[in-house]
Amino acid sequence: MKMNGARILLECLKLEGVDLVFGYPGGTVINLYDELMNVREIRHILPRHEQGGTHAADGYARATGKVGVAIATSGPGATNTVTGIATAYMDSIPMVVISGQVTTALIGNDAFQEVDMIGITRPITKHSFLIRNPKDIPSIVRKAFYIARSGRPGPVLIDFPKDVQIAQAEFKWPETVDIRGYKPNLEGHPRQVEKAILMMLAARRPVIYVGGGVISADAAGDLTALARRLQFPVTTTLMGLGSFPENDPLALKMLGMHGAYAANMAMTNSDLILAVGARFDDRVTGKIATFAPHAKIIHVDVDPTSIRKNVRVDLPIVGDVKDVLVKMLAELDKQADGLKELQANLSVWHEDISGWKEKYPIAYKQSTTTIKPQYVIQKLRELSQEDAIMATDVGQHQMWVAQFFGFQQPRTLLSSGGLGTMGFGLPAAMGAQAAFPKRQVICVCGDGGVQMNIQELATMVQNRLPVKIVILNNNFLGMVRQWQELFFDKRYSQTCLELPIDFVKLAEAYGAKGLRTEKPGEVEQVIKEALAHNGPVVMEFKISREEKVLPMVPAGASLNEMVLNA
Amino acid sequence: MHHNSHTISVLVENEFGVLARVSGLFSGRGFNIESLAVAPTNEEGLSRMTIVTRGDENVLEQITKQLNKLVDVIKVIDFSDESAIEREMALIKVTAEDQNRAEVLRIVDIFRAKIIDVTPKSYTIEATGAPVKIDAILELLRPLGLKELVRTGAVAIGRGAKGWKG
Ligand SMILES: Cc1ncc(C[n+]2csc(CCOP(=O)(O)OP(=O)(O)O)c2C)c(N)n1
């Protein structure tokens, strides 16, 4: 059947299982939006800024594991998606962004609202396509979704010129997708797995170090099973939180710059690190030269470029994390004796770890006069459902969430780990809530970052997305202020926000509910009231202003050189 | 660790923007390109690039992995691991007046190069050979007055009977 290009694209989205897109209209997508009115199966949410829409698509993808879809018009609409695309790229989030483009004949002429989106996004997309002919739309869309979700996931851009949206073509859906230059290596090599098992059985001071790859491979269950079978302690990166239940005795919690003392000590003293879906980021390793000096490293990752990029690796295993973990579990079934022997060998190590955990647990000093941010996070955990989704913005509050929320399930934390994008939290929460209207979705922000995409409150109210927004208000750009306090003699250059904002009134102006307190005694009541409300709520907590995130490994220091109480 | 020069052959889809993807990868990740030569192969839709780069083993490993990760890249061969033949062509314009003219001709002859354009004041030379050979002829010609130089960058092919499709 012949259709116009706009309709073909929408039919393709349906076939890819897309039921929700976030987008913003404009001149070069007006034809696409016109066709959208004829396609009932795709729900469309109109954010108030394309950055918000892109982060929402990202939040939707993180929470569901499906590909998030965002649409923007050419020029400024498209450039507004750039931060969202880069955020998704750094955290390996599957996303397809469709940008309008000027008519093919005008490309390159500096036409009105023309930008070279393919060029701008080249380093921050997994791949990109310019559609030149409507008959190519099905194969391009098919490839775009396949690339976005397979292997190490990531964002893919489709640049869609206006004339191609209008032109007619025969619609034919390709049954298969085959890209000769793109064949992700998903199967872990059995010999490598066998070797890994022998190394693990011989370990005396092992640690499993888990990253976001375990979550994107939907392998949290296998990872947990493996850790428990081996009785290996587990530490996670920010992106890995939720892949291993933090109430398990084997949990070391998060490692790295603001990681737990026990986690960083375990890494430093280990003789074997099993890295799974993690990439040895500098926030995690500290000073590379002194990182885990005695450890042999097994590195499991679907992306070969992650392996040996930052640290030496003794045994690389390229493959889908789930495939490798399942193979490891099967291999362990044959090792009853080895496992028994291993347990006897690990008792000293478990004692060391218990000692570190007791010596410096993740903790804070409670106060009866000012609200401690950590206390708010603990109360949120206590009062929310176990499957509640927690989105964060970027800054101190993000680290307090990571330290104190006690993540138990995968895909319950939405946080910009790699790019550290302020303004991410609120729209990401919105995207997750759109995917799961019945689940509790909470967003913790600072008073700085929340103002970077605050306009999406309107979208939440309009679309009945009852996100519970927590603002930990210290009237500072807190994380930068902390660095200035510790490393720049308290010279608070441009980090005091000065103008106090009435966030309650702001919420009300958008038609949301607003609550505020500065009394520790009222925290619980405010959270309860917010969670009971069936619309979006902004909770403003005025917190102790100069609270610091601790422990802290200063940038460039070794992992075991932690500032514990400054 | 050696910061040796390495020659890499990359088979790519002849798609819109593929050169930008490859060169952008090098610049974005701080890898260096000494030369890059690219042209279509005998198989339709495919091009082959020869890239000469510099770096230690770790850098080279990252370069080949990152290249392989590009969707439009079909195959990457690092010629550090394989025995290969490398050739480059240079077009060289030299001052050739009076007493110089004979000397230039002698050098051209020794290197089995060719004169492809003549004026009363200059010769234009076409030289082909391994990049070291081009370097050598340039070293001899430079004192005589080099007016202009254009090099293609190296292209490389593996030795032996085994062919590399595309
Ligand atoms: C878009 C963007 N701009 C700047 C930064 C640098 N930055 C990191 S944390 C931070 C402070 C955030 O302040 P706030 O949102 O109030 O949260 P807090 O740290 O106080 O919890 C800044 C400015 C960033 N990460 N992202």
pLDDT in tens, B122-147: 999 999 999 999 999 999 999 999 99
Catalytic-residue membership of A382: no
Measured between beta carbons, which residues in chain B are less than 8 angstroms from residue A180?
13, 74
Residue type, A198: L
pLDDT value at residue A566: 63
- Cα(A82) to ligand 1 centroid in Å equals 18
pLDDT value at residue B98: 87
B83 vs B71 pLDDT, higher one:
B71
Three-state SS at A419: coil
Q: What is the pLDDT of chain A when averaged over all its residues?
A: 97
A177 part of contact set with chain B, CB < 8 Å:
no
Residue A376 Cβ inside 6 Å of ligand 1? The answer reads no
What φ, ψ does residue A272 adopt, rounded to 5°?
Answer: -150, 125
Kindly tell me if the per-residue pLDDT of A36 is higher than 60.
yes
The answer to whether the CB atoms of B66 and A147 lie below 8 A apart is no
pLDDT value at residue B99: 84
> What contacts A221, CB < 8 A, 6 or more positions away?
none
Residue type, A327: K
Measured between beta carbons, which residues in chain A are less than 8 angstroms from residue B13?
180-181
Give the pLDDT mean for A2-22: 98
Kindly tell me if the per-residue pLDDT of B1 is higher than 80.
no
Q: Tokens 């802290």 label which residue?
A: A552
CA nearest B67 in A: which residue?
A305
Question: Which one of B44, B48, B58, B69 would you mutate to disrupt binding with A, by most A Cβ within 10 Å of its Cβ?
Answer: B69
Rounded CA-CA distance A89/A72 in Å is: 18
Residue type, B68: N
Tens digits of residue pLDDT in A153-176: 999 999 999 999 999 999 999 999
Query: Which residue's CA is the nearest one to ligand 1's atom 5?
Result: A422
For A231: left if phi > 0, alpha if psi spans -120 to 50, otherwise beta; the answer is: left
Encoded tokens for A10: 């929408």
CB B146 within 8 A of CB B90: no
Encoded tokens for A143: 């490839």
How many pairs of residues across A and B have Cβ atoms under 8 Å apart? 39
Rounded CA-CA distance A362/A380 in Å is: 17
What are the Cα distances from residue B81, in Å, to A308, B6, B77?
19, 10, 8
Q: Compare CB distances from B21 to A122, A130, A304 and report the shortest one's residue.
A: A122
Whether the full predicted model's pTM is greater than 0.95, yes or no, is yes
Strands A2-4 and A168-170: antiparallel
The catalytic position among A126, A162, A372, A542 is: A162
pLDDT confidence band for B166 (50 / 70 / 90): low
Partnered with residue B11 across adjacent β-strands are B48, B75
Query: Residue A367, Cβ neighbours under 10 Å: how many?
Result: 13
Query: Strand order in B32-40's β-sheet?
Result: B32-40, B46-54, B5-13, B73-78
Closest CA to A526 of A554, A557, A555, A504: A504
Q: Tokens 């799961």 label which residue?
A: A436
Residue type, B40: P
Residue A216 Cβ inside 6 Å of ligand 1? The answer reads no
Rounded CA-CA distance A170/A494 in Å is: 58
The answer to whether the CB atoms of B24 and A303 lie below 8 A apart is no
What φ, ψ does residue A353 adopt, rounded to 5°?
Answer: -65, -45
pLDDT confidence band for A331 (50 / 70 / 90): very high
Catalytic-residue membership of A162: yes
Give the range among A25-29, A186-190, A463-467, B78-82 with minimum mean pLDDT.
Answer: B78-82
Query: Which residue's CA is the nearest one to ligand 1's atom 1?
Result: A422
Measured between beta carbons, which residues in chain B are less than 8 angstroms from residue A130?
16-17
Tens digits of residue pLDDT in A124-154: 999 999 999 999 999 999 999 999 999 999 9
pLDDT value at residue A144: 98
Catalytic-residue membership of A542: no
Residue A395 Cβ inside 6 Å of ligand 1? The answer reads yes
Start-to-end CA span in chain A (Å): 70
Tens digits of residue pLDDT in A94-111: 999 999 999 999 999 999
Tens digits of residue pLDDT in A528-554: 999 999 999 999 999 999 999 999 999
Catalytic-residue membership of A37: no
B78 part of contact set with chain A, CB < 8 Å:
no
Three-state SS at A227: helix
What are the Cα distances from residue A522, in Å, to A335, A364, A525, B89?
55, 19, 5, 79
CB A313 within 8 A of CB A307: yes
The catalytic position among A254, A479, A552, A562 is: A479
Start-to-end CA span in chain B (Å): 33
Encoded tokens for A311: 């640290």
Residue A415 Cβ inside 6 Å of ligand 1? The answer reads no
pLDDT value at residue A554: 94
Residue type, A453: N
pLDDT value at residue A543: 98
Rounded CA-CA distance B45/B47 in Å is: 7
Give the pLDDT mean for A194-219: 98
pLDDT value at residue B3: 65
Q: Tokens 């307090």 label which residue?
A: A400
Catalytic-residue membership of A476: no
Kindly tell me if the per-residue pLDDT of A527 is higher than 60.
yes
pLDDT value at residue B80: 78
> What contacts A33, CB < 8 A, 6 or more positions away?
A23, A25
Query: Residue A270, Cβ neighbours under 10 Å: how many?
Result: 26
Question: Which of A283, A401, A477 is the pocket-test mutation for ligand 1 (most atoms within 8 Å of CB)?
Answer: A477
Query: Residue A284, Cβ neighbours under 10 Å: how many?
Result: 29
Instruction: Count Cβ atoms within 10 A of the Cβ of residue A554 and give its class: 0-12 exposed, 13-18 middle, 19 or more buried.
Output: middle
A228-247 as b/e, with b when 16 or more CB fall inside 10 Å?
eebbbbbbbbbbbbbbbbbe
Residue A394 Cβ inside 6 Å of ligand 1? The answer reads yes
Query: Strand order in A68-72's β-sheet?
Result: A43-45, A20-23, A68-72, A95-101, A155-161, A127-130
pLDDT value at residue A407: 98
Give the pLDDT mean for A393-411: 98
> What contacts B31, CB < 8 A, 6 or more positions away?
B25, B53, B55, B59, B62, B63
Measured between beta carbons, which residues in chain A are less than 8 angstroms from residue B41?
none
The answer to whether the CB atoms of A181 and B73 lie below 8 A apart is yes
Encoded tokens for A125: 């997309």
